[in-house]
Amino acid sequence: MSEIKKVHGLYVLSKKSPTLANLRQSLPEPSIHGYQVWSSSFLIMDYLNEEPLAKGERVLDIGCGWGMLSIYCAKTFKAKVTAVDADKWVFPYLRVHAAMNSVKITTKVSKYEDIKNGLLKKQKFMAGGDICFWDDLVDPLYDIVSRAVESGVERIVIADPGRSPFLKLAKKCKKSFGAQLVPRQVNEPKKSAGYLMIVES
Confidence (pLDDT) at 36: 61
- Alpha carbon of residue 191 to chain centroid: 19
Confidence (pLDDT) at 22: 86
How do residues 21-35 score in pLDDT, each as one tens digit? 888 888 777 665 555
Look up the domain containing 61 and give its range: 4-200
- In the chain, which stretches have pLDDT less than 70? 1, 30-36, 38
In 43-178, which ranges are E strands?
58-62, 80-85, 106-109, 125-129, 155-160
Number of domains in the chain: 1
CATH of the domain at 82: 3.40.50.150
Confidence (pLDDT) at 27: 73
Confidence (pLDDT) at 129: 95
How do residues 105-141 score in pLDDT, each as one tens digit? 999 999 999 999 999 999 999 999 999 999 999 999 9
How many residues are there in the chain? 201
Residues 6+ positions from 122 with CB-CB distance below 8 Å: 58
